[in-house]
Amino acid sequence: MNELSLFSFAPAQEPKLMNPLVLAYIGDAFYEMFIRQFVVSQPNQRPNHLHRQSTRYVSAKAQSKALTRLLPLLTEDERYMVKRGRNAKSGTSAKNADILEYRHSTAFECLVGYLYYTKQLERLHELLMITIEPQHAES
């Protein structure tokens, strides 16, 4: 992977010190791109199908479930970032999820953003691949 293409702009501060909602902001974008690449790699290329497939993974409910699966695999440092993301007060609410799912989704995105900005790309890839295992996708 060409690091230059992924990191055109470094964050303004050390990732561990960043606001967890800022990490979730970039984590949301990164995960969305990951999932879009995944669904485009599948045989059915109809745009409506691509969108439906993507939302099976990127919804607050699906991300909350993904986090639940990942928790036993996380390091102490990763769990700390999840806790920060879960406890962050966003001031917004989810459209199609309850508050607990929304907070867990934010925690998941915070973890993704943290791993992205700390350039732990192999670890990030390892964890994200678990979220797309067929038996885990939300139906």
The residues assigned a catalytic role are 28
Neighbours of 22 (CB within 10 A): 17
Q: Residue ranges of the alpha helices (H) in the chain? A: 3-6, 20-40, 47-58, 60-70, 76-87, 99-117, 121-131
Q: How far lies 91's CA from each of 32, 62, 102, 134, in Å?
A: 22, 21, 12, 34
